Chain A
Amino acid sequence: MKLIKRCIERIVETILTAGGMITSVIILLIVIFLFKEGFGLFNSPSVEKGYSLCVNTENPIEKLNPFQIKEIFDYEIDNWKNVGGNDEEIILFRFEELFYRYSDEELGENDEFLSQKLGEIIRATPGIIAYLPTEYLSSDCSGIKVLPEAKISVGDFFGRKEWIPTAIPAPQFGVLPLILGTLWVSIFAIAIALPLGLGVAIYLSELAGEKMRKILKPTIELLAGIPSVVYGFFGLVVLVPLIQKLFHLPVGETAFAGSLILAIMALPTIITVAEDAMQNTPRAMREAGLALGANHWQTIYKVIIPYSVSGISAAVVLGIGRAIGETMAVLMVTGNAAVIPHTIFEPVRTIPATIAAELGEAPSGGAHYQALFMLGCILFLMTILISIAAEVISKNHPQRKGI
């Protein structure tokens, strides 16, 4: 009997230990899955999988970078000399055009003459650049030069400014505007929320009567409970038109609308954490301040705020963390334009909004899909850094330094 009991005790303990590790395991799993998909991106070809770019052998061009390819296929670059070749006009050829040039009979019932016709076209046109499925490259390769397949580079991913994930033939994955857009919106949100939140925290902790506090604090906590999609809806129907009218802007969907909504959403976190920090100021310190002849306000900003500064910073960091990751509300109000913002009154596109808007439409396993997971990794790392920063800051409490 005793043995069984001890056995059960052991088993339960093991289960509990396993349970204790659960969050660590989940984080590990998230890292594995996100990074496995995400890093696949840098192994993907910069031109869509299964397709190649071909030129005539007489063309001295050896390779093109994704950006040049995009410019060529947008007719922005129309002469080979602009990309280091001869002075010759660029002639674009997309695979689908084959079906306009030749009838189905000419291509054969099972497309057996397809690659032959492709070869003919490429050989006949010196200035051509052809975008076609690799499997239809003619077996007889004379006269055709296949441009070497390049991988999507880390430098392009983090350094370029174009986010056009569905551009054909070379999708543009420049995440710079997305990262900057995310930070831009979040930082402005905090810039709005911090003074407000701090003010309310001071009011709650120092000025409001006990009764008022008892009503206000839970009310503000309620604000944290409202779902983000409701905030987004409110922003969409009220704030966006209001901002447009108030500031006479060409568009209402701006980073400012996003920041405002995020600020409202981050307020409860900031207020609660900052107020707790102020409440924790020892009575002796306040009384010392007052005893030295300082009035209440002087005590607040000379004693209480400096004392609780680590708690307040933690509140700020947590607020930024919440703002950076917020998805739905931002998706609904910021206009989602992938440009590097110069003012707060321009549309921006954030990382979470990009994932939410595009993941459903990105073919599973493709470069676009992987790029979105890579964005997920970036977001994940940002928030983990922020969590750790908050941890370090709140540990750095003056009490522990023996004051």
Chain B
Amino acid sequence: MTAKTNQKIAFCVFRILGMLVVGLLFWILGFIIYNGIGVISWEFLTGYPTAGMTSGGILPAIVGTLCLIAGSSIIAFPLGILSAIYSSEYAGNGKMVQFIRVMTNNLGGVPSIIFGLFGMALFVNTLGFGDSIIAGSLTLGLLTLPLIIRTTEEALKAIPDSFRTAGLALGATKLQTINRVVLPMAFPNIITGLILSIGRVSGETAPILFTVAAYFLPKLPTGIFDQVMALPYHLYVIATSGTDLEASRPMAYGTALVLIIIVLLMNLLATALRRWFSKKVKTH
């Protein structure tokens, strides 16, 4: 065999592999969309589950997931951004910052079920929040911290040092430079990271199993100590329990589709914002 035929065969294999993986993605997406699209209607999105969760809608689960997104964002955004500013602007390049970076990476690798265990032990039991939005939001917030820190740090690093020195040279303090120059410039990329973290929060099941999720709660939450239903947990529940699984299958497909749409929208939004902002920065 010549090197040339070798190359031909190898490249052919790689092309097929590439197509295969993309095909796989479209198969999964297509399967959910195909089965779920017929279920989605105005009633499905704004109604309450009825008839033993085999019909009706999923409004409480949607609202619950939105609550968790909001709650975890309030907790994780400021903390994550602060942490990133510290390690990229203040900490220099010493042992300390390396240690922090290793810890952030480690935390990023901790499985979500561990966060669930931890959230249950600390927020639900020790601090006595019970199963509640606040316990779930705190758990999810901690879970997304590493992602937020990493993306924010990258955004800050992308700002050339000349801007910082220019700011300082004009007599501004370090804080002012960061506040007026660095942060606004890094803003688009920071936002992208935040949106990605929202996508992650909306899909996580394991951390909310023991901290917030309710099986059936057909009222919207009124306070942060309420339990809520959540989309991923709802999907898990109707996919595996209930007296008539076949009757609840359409609900499951519909829920899966809504969940995917939310996650994909977040991803698209992140990409779109990044494009839009980067154009804006260039023209100025």
Do A and B interact with each other, yes or no?
Answer: yes
Seen from chain A, the residues whose Cβ lies within 8 Å of a Cβ on chain B are 5, 8-9, 12-13, 15-24, 26-27, 29-30, 33-34, 37, 196-197, 199-200, 202-204, 206-208, 216, 218-223, 225-234, 236-238, 264, 267, 271, 294-298, 300-301, 318, 321, 324-328, 332, 352, 355-356, 359-360, 364, 372-373, 376, 379-380, 383-384, 386-388, 390-391
Q: List 29 A-B contacts (CB under 8 A).
A: A13-B90, A16-B90, A20-B82, A20-B86, A26-B107, A29-B118, A29-B122, A33-B118, A34-B117, A199-B13, A199-B14, A203-B18, A207-B14, A218-B267, A218-B271, A229-B203, A230-B232, A230-B235, A234-B28, A234-B32, A295-B3, A298-B3, A325-B113, A327-B112, A327-B205, A356-B209, A359-B209, A384-B109, A386-B109
Cβ contact within 8 Å between A23 and B267:
no
Please measure, in the bound complex, the distance between the C-alpha atom of A199 and the C-alpha atom of B18, giving whole angstroms.
7
Q: Which residues of B contact A301 (CB under 8 A)?
A: 10
Cβ contact within 8 Å between A233 and B199:
no
Query: B236 an interface residue at 8 Å Cβ cutoff?
Result: yes
Please measure, in the bound complex, the distance between the C-alpha atom of A234 and the C-alpha atom of B28, giving whole angstroms.
7
Cβ contact within 8 Å between B91 and A20:
yes
Cβ contact within 8 Å between A225 and B203:
yes
Q: A16-B90, A355-B113 are in contact. Are A207 and B107 (CB under 8 A)?
A: no
Q: Which among A22, A230, A325 is the interface contact of B32 at CB below 8 angstroms?
A: A230
Interface SS of chain A: helix
Cβ contact within 8 Å between A221 and B267:
yes
Contact with A along B53-96 (1 / 0, CB 8 A): 00000000000000000000000000100110111011100000
Q: Which residues of B contact A19 (CB under 8 A)?
A: 79, 82-83, 85-86
Seen from chain B, the residues whose Cβ lies within 8 Å of a Cβ on chain A are 3-4, 6-7, 10-11, 13-15, 17-18, 20-22, 24-25, 28-29, 31-32, 79, 82-83, 85-87, 89-91, 99-100, 102-118, 120-122, 125-126, 142, 145-146, 149, 173-175, 196, 199-200, 202-206, 209-210, 232-233, 235-236, 239-240, 249, 252, 256, 259-260, 263-264, 266-267, 271
Please measure, in the bound complex, the distance between the C-alpha atom of A294 and the C-alpha atom of B4, giving whole angstroms.
10
Closest chain A CB from B124 CB (angstroms):
10
Q: Which among A12, A22, A203, A227 is the interface contact of B232 at CB below 8 angstroms?
A: A227
Q: Which residues of B contact A364 (CB under 8 A)?
A: 125
